Amino acid sequence: MKALSLFAVFVLAKILVLVGRDITLSWWAPLAYVWQDALVASLLGVIEFFNRRRPWITWLLYGGSVLYVAINVPLTRILSSPLTWQMSRATGTALSDSIQHYLTLGNITLIIAVLLAGALLPFCLRNTSPRTVAVISMAVIMLITFGPAASARVDSNGLHRNAVAALIHSLFPRIAAVDADGDWRAGLFERSHGEDLSAYRGAATNRHVVLILLESTGAGYLRPYGSKNDPMPNLTKLAETSILFENTYAVYPESIKGLFSVLCSRYPAFDTEPADYERVSTTSIAQALAGSGYRTALFHSGRFMYLGMNSIIQNRGYEILEDAAAISGNFNSSFGVDEPATVKRMLGWIDSLPRGERFFLTYLPIAGHHPYNAPAAGPFHDRSEQGQYLNALHYGDAALGQFFQGLKSRGLNTNTLFVIFGDHGEAFGQHEGNYGHTLFIHEENVRVPYLVAAPGLVLEPKRVSRIASLIDTAPTILDLLGLPFPGDYQGSSLLRPPCQMALFYTDYSLSLVGLRDGDWKFIYELESKRSKLFHVAQDQRETDNLAGRYPQRAANYREHLLRWSAAQKKRLLHPGESDVVLRR
């Protein structure tokens, strides 16, 4: 009866996950949502049958499965995903404040309810008649047989997955590494030339460079991008004398692999870990500038050990690398220290340099990261998580203002190039179940602000509507400085006129690949083979899926993204020998 009990526990857990959600109801829905539960429970039944003389094995598997599923109920309610192997790697000590934030009475009650059901059901069902067992077995067989077809008809956003099955599935590669060539960024349909910024090529020669990656900062929350709120007034003021790119996309909605794409102008790949990036020999922006006489430093208000960031930043040309452990500060959380402490340390480093030496400074703040704690109160109503988030952005922006003022008081602001952008976005339920940043690639996850400011050079706001990608950052900086950049960069200078697509993906839970091509946005889910096509120029909320109306466009985008994903994995994990050619 343990298999039947486990199936009942799975169904209870699924109901607890789905209650309160806006799900599509149809005749297919019950089959779609529980067939994996039936499959995993049936596997336990097979094990139970062949281990009748050793019942402790089945009991051990049963108990472990119930405990694991119970823990996953609140997790899935929060993140719309059961735990995957990729997600488990992110649950280190740096996230302890976020984890503690969700140890609420309600979530603990959900776990206890599933555990109690798991403990009681084997005894309640032990006298079930053979006839009833036979009927249930036939129903389970029907679920397993027709469930996959039902899943193809019901868009569950991955909520149909059984927690145990999802963990096992995530251990296997999602994309095969395949040799493929292509102009991955070239538009597949319309090709046009965007705004001409070629006049700025070399215009920032000999300037200092400040590169700022704003943590979890989505474009849609900021005043320069149309928001009614203004959580970052200092950034808003800077935008008045900046080149502002209106449609910029992160390559990956998470900080670590995203940082790799920025520093090395290379795409990360599916099924890879930070340690895989240590082997990449592409010249980083810090190495390129160090080779041109710049002093280089990276300051992070967080902790380098989080998600293996050390593998991305070590041996990349930074002579100074300091995180929360080195900086210390007045406010210390599991994720890092207060932004004013980091600003003070950065200005101290600048002061230590011999007068006249050029510097390249990279700043990685943490304000904006969940659980959105800020040492000081903010102007926004903070009972909601989004209000707390806006207050965290406001707090981080105040530190930015202190930094800008510090440079100005030292007479450095008029000889500095600033490149400032969000490393990825942040979601608050704009799409059903989409919270945080890593699990989906909707606009709120991947569209970010992007400003290029050079006081005295850019005198008024210049808005650029063509598509940009964070992978373009290193070549753009070098182009602004009039320096050549390596031929193995996969990004392009944003000062060059041709319009290009932005490509992005996530593999934390569901395997999703996507692109922005002109007015169009496309998302493809590898597991379900489901395509979503949006005309985001008219539908920025991504509510009207046009894939059925434009099947050829969707098919072309899908094949392009699958080839691109396979090629990036091959290039990263099995690099071939190639000469590095300097381009201008």
* Structure tokens belonging to residue 188: 């597949």
Q: Report the distance separating Cα 467 and Cα 225, nearest Å.
A: 15
The share of the chain scoring above pLDDT 70, in percent, equals 96
Q: Report the distance separating Cα 466 and Cα 194, nearest Å.
A: 6
Lowest mean pLDDT among 46-50, 135-139, 486-490, 511-515: 135-139
Coil, strand, or helix at residue 94? helix
Cα Rg of the chain (Å, integer): 26
Q: What is the mean pLDDT of residues 298-307?
A: 90
Q: Is the pLDDT of residue 105 over 70?
A: yes
In the chain the first and final C-alpha atoms are separated, in Å, by: 71
Q: Is the pLDDT of residue 46 over 70?
A: yes
Cβ contacts of 352 within 8 Å, gap of 6 or more: none
Q: Is the pLDDT of residue 332 over 80?
A: no
- The 3-state secondary structure of 462-506, one letter per residue: EEEEEEEEHHHHHHHHHHHCCCCEECCCCCCCCCCCECCCEEEEE
Instruction: Say whether domain 198-502 belongs to CATH 3.10.20.30.
Output: no
More confident residue, 89 or 530: 530
By the 10 Å C-beta count (0-12 exposed, 13-18 middle, 19+ buried), 314 is classed as: exposed
Map tokens 């960069």 to a residue.
489
The share of the chain scoring above pLDDT 90, in percent, equals 73
Give CA separation, 156 vs 10, 16, 159, 528, in Å: 17, 15, 5, 10
**What pLDDT band is residue 329 in, cutting at 50, 70 and 90?**
confident
373: β partners: none
Mean per-residue pLDDT over the chain, rounded:
91
CB 333 within 8 A of CB 396: no
Lowest mean pLDDT among 50-54, 368-372, 404-408, 477-481: 50-54
Q: Report the distance separating Cα 113 and Cα 493, nearest Å.
A: 55
pLDDT tens per residue, range 3-12: 899 999 999 9
pLDDT tens per residue, range 509-526: 999 999 999 999 999 999
Specify the pTM.
Answer: 0.94
Q: Is the pLDDT of residue 578 over 60?
A: no
Q: Where are the domains of the chain?
A: 2-169, 198-502
Q: Is the pLDDT of residue 134 over 50?
A: yes
**What pLDDT band is residue 528 in, cutting at 50, 70 and 90?**
very high
Per-residue pLDDT, 91: 66
Q: Report the distance separating Cα 405 and Cα 409, nearest Å.
A: 6
* Structure tokens belonging to residue 394: 């406001």
Per-residue pLDDT, 129: 82
CA 262 to chain centre: 14
Per-residue pLDDT, 93: 57
